[in-house]
Structure 1
Amino acid sequence: MAISRPTLAAIRFGYGLRPGEEPPRDAEALLAQLDQAAKRKPRFPREGAGGRRETASRVMSLRAAEAKAAKDGKPNESIRKETQKEALQIYRQDAMARLAQAILSPFGFHERLASFWTDHFSTSALKSLPMRMVVPLYEAEAIRPNLAGSFANLLKAAMLHPAMLIYLDQSDGAGMDAPAGRSGGRAVNESLGRELLELHTLGAGSGYTQEDVRAAALILTGLSVDRRALEVVYRPRISEGGSISLLGEVYEDDEAGSQDHLRMLEDLALNPMTAEHVCRKLVIHFVADEPPADVVAAMTAAWAETEGDLKAVYRAMLDHPRAWSDPGQKIKRPFEFVVSGFRAVDISDKDLSRLLDEMDDDEQEDDGPMRKALKMASSTAARADAKQRAARANDLTLAALQRMDQPIWQPPSPAGYADLASVWLSPGQLSERIAWARLMAGRFGQRRDPGTFLDAALGDAAGQNTRDVIAQAPNTNHAIAMVLASPEFNRR
């Protein structure tokens, strides 16, 4: 089945078609999104980067004070509960803003790249309560501003953000010959060094050794986090001094501020094995589970010629004919599926805000005497109705992604989410998608013409068999659900 380039561009390289939004015509239109999107701030963190640092610092300070009081035998349970409640609410608001960002942005290719790189440099909001506030900041500060520049700059921004160092426990380690190491209180933490080589740069099986992992870890010693200011700092007391050899290069500790880790990151960014590993992942993500070798080769050549200029690497992928052939090779991951579903029904910013409000209304349990009095006056039926609305809103958004095993900012490991059809084609996954399609049809599919919706959601990607099934559906809701559950809608 032939699919037009605009349709394929929107589905394969973006988050799908949206009524009233012109799909990108070709590779140039996709690449133009990168400069256009860079001029707009993301919808998260909700209070902006500066405001989020203040909020996170305040919450962490309160938690630290309560922990100290509890240790002294004077626990304050109310502080612990209030800070926990605030952090969880902030996470939910940010997660919904992240969902809205992907749904409402006209720059689908840029949004897909933001998701890819946030996953490549995975951190998790589940690491700790404060991380629920820090991980959204990480994507907004480290990933999005750097995804169209050099890989070296993106690598440094991601690896040297507080979220990454907290996630991989960098502050807990120390060099073997560092004062903190010699005193016996700390040991070398290899987590950051291992993930740097295995996941973020060279890739597993590229030939590095355990000695290289340890060398990378030693070069990174000294890096820590000021958790009150949420800034990365260098602490000589935990830094390994002297010369360290990694992959044939010698790195010297610099007493004026330790720049050896920056040179290591720059060297790793230019390593041909890094280019091969990252380009292969990009092709797997966008084109096919079995990446065409000629597409990967074109991208690695562009990497070498431009010293890792990511826009040139993306261009090499998009300019290759194989990137536009054989539609339907990839299964949409849950986040892509849900986002494309909301785009297909043309959900508005107002509707998304209403869904968040419905979830938040059910969380406001103890907001003071006035609310308590109102609750006492309200009927049991009204309270039950509010809970049902909240549950339905959650089931369409954050809870749906949780059930489908791709909750926002909560990857299962530093390796991120799987990007292969075998993971997302299980019976349980398909059952959840069908259930979600029915919920969507019930909430947003009423009073729609099924044929018009099919064209809006899939354009010329819809096959004749799917058109026949939709035409024979017993009612509108069933037809809308069948569109969202169709093979064409679940593939890209």
Structure 2
Amino acid sequence: MNTTSRREFLITGASALALSGAIFKSVQGWLGDFQQYTGRELHRPLDGSLTPSASAQIDPVAHALNRWTFGPGPGDYARVAAMGADAFLEEQFAPEKIDDGLCDRAIARFSECWWEPLGEAYEEDAEYLPPVLRRVAILRPVYSRRQLFEVMCEFWSDHFNIDPGKGDCRYTKIADDRDVIRAHALGNFREMVRASALSPAMLWYLDGRANVKRTPSEKPNENYARELMELHTLGVHGGYTQHDVMEVARCLTGWTILAKKDDGFSGKLLSPLKDRAKVVFRKDAHDNAAKQVLGQSIPAGLGEGDLDRVIEIVASHPSTARFIATKLCVRFISDEPPPAAIDAVALAFADSKGDIKATLRTLFARPEFHSSTGMKFKRPFHFVVSALRATNAETDADRGLFSYLEKMGQVPFRYPTPDGYPARAQHWHATLLWRWKFALALANNRIKGTHIARKEIIAQLGGDHALAATLLNRQPNTEESDALGKPGDNLALLLASPTFQRC
């Protein structure tokens, strides 16, 4: 059995990279190519205090940065310590007021894809949009100052997961990201569920567009109805039955999207390009009879109003409050959050009628949150983004970076089933070897399209000890300080360390 330690791996890898360095461009030449490719430098300016935490333990400021962001960059600790964690949270709760110019520049070349009319997306190459979606999903959390917003966008993207590889989702998922996830990430849960139910991408992904009842003998398609309750609202143990699934499916019949060809109704060319994927309600395909969902009666004759009645019932159900509270506590506290925390967060969710900010305020005020330092194991995406932020990296978020996320198993928007990427650590423990390889490659600028100014940033921070304090969010302990004095790649060793793997 191979028992190579992390340090042995990094020392050996660093030596191999040094020997093969001749086959790579110089950093200066590579950086010139990168700037020509992007049109600008994309590192964050280090123009404030870079003083790291002086504490021997993760203090409240560092803990807040670890959980409310994708990881602090150089200078973030000093800024938040000066303003206070509470003030930082209020800043993050108003993302629209935060100047995000660097992030805007990072995604500028892709912006047209986000704001073009949905029908025009069909003019794009079918293989072009999904990679753009994934690249922007990396660039935003790396460069954005609206960190809590980006954290919640990732959270809800998993919650309402859509695989762009299915049918027209490759054309419509960008609009879903814009109009469902990002429009409601810090808003109201009920409104987000409704937006998702009528999202062209979701109608494609979970077959809602094919949910029709035109004759007494026709059975509705129940795919979306089941996932609406199992994954989006009540949870798998939320108390619904197969009868409830079928009743919800009946309520949602008739909602479809215009298509270029046969939409299942007329068999004719239906819409010009500008109307492609427009959501419409077909009265002739809707079951307008009375229904009963989760013990509540829905009268006959509501037509498209059945949708709002269903959303109201499932979004306000006590099981939904507990299901969402549990997922949020897993994300921000621990893989097995204390019941008292879940109870308090569920109550806040219910009392606020699904207000996401109010729910998060309660969660972040809980003693269980404040005492959970270092208890969360970063998922691969979180780990990679936090490493890029910690080293003030420039990246084009293209294939060079994708290849590592692929090997770790978490490329954005590539999970094939509607439950989204797993949240708990046990699913990701097998990714450690590729994390070490990524740390070594990043530290030595061996990832195509990604660059760190290693010597400059260490000099600005004040040496390896200050580098360690910045990456660990605390002062290095005796064992870590001793390790920094031994042969090997200190930056790679810190990025691969158990402390950096956790938040």
Short-chain TM bin: 0.7 to 0.9
- Matched position secondary structure for 1:454: helix
Choose which of 288, 294, 314 in structure 2 pairs with 1:241. 288
Structure 1 match to 2:265: none
Evaluate the alpha carbon distance shift between residue 111 and residue 468 of structure 1 in structure 2; reply closer, same or farther with a 3 A threshold: farther
Distance in 2, matches of 1:214 and 1:155, equals 19
Q: Does 1:468 align with 2:482?
A: yes
- Matched position secondary structure for 1:430: helix
Q: What do residues 65-121 of structure 1 show as CA deviations (whole Å, max 9, x unaligned)?
A: xxxxxxxxxxxxxxxxxxxxx332332233212211001112222211110011111
Structure 2 match to 1:388: none
- Matched position secondary structure for 1:135: helix
Structure 2 match to 1:70: none
Q: State, as a whole percentage, how many aligned pairs show the same letter.
A: 29
Q: Is the 8 A contact 1:212 1:247 kept in 2?
A: yes
Cα shift at 1:457: 2.1
Structure 1 match to 2:94: 35
Distance in 2, matches of 1:462 and 1:162, equals 50
Deviates more, 1:196-205 or 1:5-14: 5-14
Quick one: which amino acid aligns to residue 483 of structure 2?
V
Q: Does 1:201 align with 2:260?
A: no
Q: How does 1:163-182 map to 2 (within 5 A)?
A: 163-175=201-213, 178-179=214-215, 182=217
Distance in 2, matches of 1:343 and 1:125, equals 27
Choose which of 103, 107, 120 in structure 2 pairs with 1:55. 120
Distance in 1, matches of 2:230 and 2:408, equals 27
Cα shift at 1:201: 0.6
Choose which of 357, 362, 369 in structure 2 pairs with 1:323. 369
Evaluate the alpha carbon distance shift between residue 121 and residue 463 of structure 1 in structure 2; reply closer, same or farther with a 3 A threshold: farther
Q: What do residues 249-287 of structure 1 show as CA deviations (whole Å, max 9, x unaligned)?
A: 1223546x5111112102211111100000000000111
Show structure 2 runs of 5+ residues with no match: 1-55, 260-274, 446-451
Distance in 2, matches of 1:107 and 1:166, equals 30
Q: Is the 8 A contact 1:169 1:189 kept in 2?
A: yes
- Matched position secondary structure for 1:88: coil
Structure 2 match to 1:401: 405
Choose which of 326, 343, 354 in structure 2 pairs with 1:280. 326
Structure 1 match to 2:441: 439
Q: Does 1:309 align with 2:352?
A: no
- Matched position secondary structure for 1:245: strand
Q: Is the 8 A contact 2:290 2:301 kept in 1?
A: no
Evaluate the alpha carbon distance shift between residue 453 and residue 205 of structure 1 in structure 2; reply closer, same or farther with a 3 A threshold: same
Quick one: which amino acid aligns to residue 225 of structure 2?
G
Q: Does 1:3 align with 2:3?
A: no
Cα shift at 1:461: 6.7
Q: Is the 8 A contact 2:465 2:476 kept in 1?
A: no
Structure 1 match to 2:471: 457
- The normalised TM-score by structure 1 is 0.78
Quick one: which amino acid aligns to residue 100 of structure 1?
L
Q: How does 1:339-488 map to 2 (within 5 A)?
A: 339-347=385-393, 351-353=394-396, 356=398, 394-395=399-400, 397-426=401-430, 429-443=431-445, 444=452, 446-447=454-455, 448=458, 449-460=463-474, 462-474=476-488, 478-488=489-499
- Matched position secondary structure for 2:94: helix
Distance in 2, matches of 1:486 and 1:7, equals 17
Choose which of 93, 101, 109 in structure 1 pairs with 2:140. 101
Distance in 1, matches of 2:250 and 2:477, equals 56
Q: Is the 8 A contact 1:162 1:232 kept in 2?
A: yes
Distance in 2, matches of 1:31 and 1:473, equals 44
Quick one: which amino acid aligns to residue 152 of structure 2?
L
Choose which of 72, 75, 84 in structure 2 pairs with 1:17. 72
Structure 2 match to 1:381: none
Q: Is the 8 A contact 1:10 1:17 kept in 2?
A: yes
Distance in 1, matches of 2:299 and 2:464, equals 66
Cα shift at 1:469: 1.9
Distance in 2, matches of 1:302 and 1:405, equals 34
Choose which of 164, 172, 182 in structure 2 pairs with 1:144. 182
Structure 1 match to 2:23: none
Q: Is the 8 A contact 1:17 1:23 kept in 2?
A: no
Q: Is the 8 A contact 1:283 1:291 kept in 2?
A: yes
Show structure 1 runs of 5+ residues with no match: 60-85, 357-393
Cα shift at 1:446: 4.0
Q: How does 1:219-238 map to 2 (within 5 A)?
A: 219-227=251-259, 228-238=275-285
CA RMSD in angstroms, aligned pairs only: 2.3
- Matched position secondary structure for 1:18: coil
- Matched position secondary structure for 1:465: helix
- Matched position secondary structure for 2:74: coil
Q: Is the 8 A contact 1:222 1:238 kept in 2?
A: yes
- Matched position secondary structure for 1:233: strand
Q: What do residues 115-142 of structure 1 show as CA deviations (whole Å, max 9, x unaligned)?
A: 00111111111213x4233223212211
Evaluate the alpha carbon distance shift between residue 280 and residue 110 of structure 1 in structure 2; reply closer, same or farther with a 3 A threshold: same
Evaluate the alpha carbon distance shift between residue 344 and residue 26 of structure 1 in structure 2; reply closer, same or farther with a 3 A threshold: same
Cα shift at 1:188: 1.8
Quick one: which amino acid aligns to residue 322 of structure 2?
E
Structure 2 match to 1:489: 500
- Matched position secondary structure for 2:166: coil
Report how many aligned residue pairs link the two structures.
411
- Matched position secondary structure for 1:106: coil
Cα shift at 1:199: 0.7
Distance in 1, matches of 2:192 and 2:476, equals 38
- Matched position secondary structure for 1:196: helix
Structure 2 match to 1:359: none
Quick one: which amino acid aligns to residue 346 of structure 1?
N
